[in-house]
Amino acid sequence: MSQTTTRHDELLALVTELNNMILKGEILPAHEKFYAEGCIQMENEEMVFEGKELNRKREEEFVNNLTEFRGAEVKSVGVDAENNVTFVEWWMDYTHKEWGVRNYQQVSVARWEGDKIVHERYYGG
């Protein structure tokens, strides 16, 4: 088995575990487990949010502002082992205190170092 194939399998296993935790509602434990201390997250072209603590606070605010969660589904997953990147197409349906009813598809692109996400950008949503 080549080194690239091995990394492909590792990344696929990591992103699959992350996705499964999110689908079970374990958003905050997933964040704790899979995000690096200095992680950077971006929403489309908006501001850059740097650091695990800041991004955890953002996740907590999101979770605490959900008034109804109707569903989520992973539509597709991709792995670029050479660049340590995973891609996940999500469908989500929920109601948020500030944003109202949200039913949309979004793509998450994550760059990994080892078993931690160091950079993640969301497209769509």
Flag whether pLDDT at 4 surpasses 80: no
Residue 62: per-residue pLDDT = 93
Flag whether pLDDT at 88 surpasses 60: yes
Write the pLDDT tens digit of every residue in 29-54.
999 999 999 999 999 888 899 999 99
Flag whether pLDDT at 1 surpasses 60: no
Pick the CATH number of 3-124 from 3.20.20.70, 3.10.450.50, 3.40.50.11540, 3.30.70.20: 3.10.450.50
CB 15 within 8 A of CB 88: yes
- The mean pLDDT of the chain is 94
- In the chain, pLDDT over 90 holds for what percent of residues? 90
Angle CA 113–119–124, to nearest 5: 140
Residue with tokens 């949309």: 104
Cβ contacts of 7 within 8 Å, gap of 6 or more? 81, 84
Residue 47: per-residue pLDDT = 82
